[in-house]
Amino acid sequence: MHHHLPSISSSTFLLNLLFFAQLPISYTQNTASINQCYETFRCGNIQNLLFPFWKEGSPEICHNEGFELTKCEEEDDEPVIKIGEAEFRLVFVDQPGYRMTIAREDLWEGICNPTSKQNMTLGNHFFRFHPTNRNLTFFYDCNESVVQRDGVGFTCTQGLISFYADDLVERGSYERFSSSCRGGAIQVQINDSIFGRLKTEDPENFESGRWRLGFDVQYDLPEIFCGKCNSHKGLCDDMTSPQYPICKTHGTHNLLKLHSSSTSN
């Protein structure tokens, strides 16, 4: 199955800092300087990560809620990112587009034993679901009579049927079906590009994990950048270019600019 490459090529867009004017010695020696957050690092099988992502050992100034990465030492696997109280696998990052692909950690190894029968929320105003996502509802351990006509079945408990249906919540049928399924129900998002392949998959592949390599989330990097600037004695100016704001350091003529640059392959 085709899926996103789990790395970020240095030949594509990368976020970086532009320094306007020479930094004075006192500034470059400041251990709380934001420019420390723009040193790329690897976590798991994803390379060239930088602000707003961070991991254990990153300078405190680089810590951003919702972007902490763990399991970085497992170089052949996707790292874990914690957003609110939920954990996800970080599958792909499009840093110039301020977008990442994440998948539920509790469904990563298989869909039959989610740790929580609750719908996951992002719980952070910096994040929003991408419009290319599709909503699926998984119903667990149901009687065959309640399986919806358009539902696709799978087996978690012998003698009972579990199934999923597309956008069932939006059709207003969630409560009626969930009350008839003793295992409960959860809503799971998936990228629309993968959705069309599900009905043709082998049931064993469907029931296995990495479900189904996730969904897309946008994050507001300019707002995160400005919040970090303002909280560390800077003044963020986004009037000229809201997408690429400038952080002005008090008492100096130095500017830090959130910037995207590219080189052709």
What are the boundaries of each domain within the chain? 14-134+194-261
33-42, 70-79, 152-161: range with highest mean pLDDT: 70-79
Counting residues of the chain whose pLDDT is more than 90, the rounded percentage is 29
Inter-CA distances, 111 with 8, 135, 204, 216, Å:
28, 15, 11, 19
- List the one residue out of 122, 48, 43 whose CA is nearest residue 80: 43
Nearest-angstrom CA–CA distance, 9 and 80: 20
Nearest-angstrom CA–CA distance, 260 and 17: 9
Using one digit for the tens of pLDDT, what is the confidence trace for 39-76?
Answer: 899 999 999 999 999 999 999 999 999 999 999 999 88
92-96, 121-125, 154-158, 190-194: range with highest mean pLDDT: 92-96
Of 21-30, 50-59, 207-216, 244-253, the poorest mean pLDDT is in 21-30
Nearest-angstrom CA–CA distance, 166 and 190: 10
Nearest-angstrom CA–CA distance, 77 and 43: 9
Identify the pLDDT of residue 116. 79
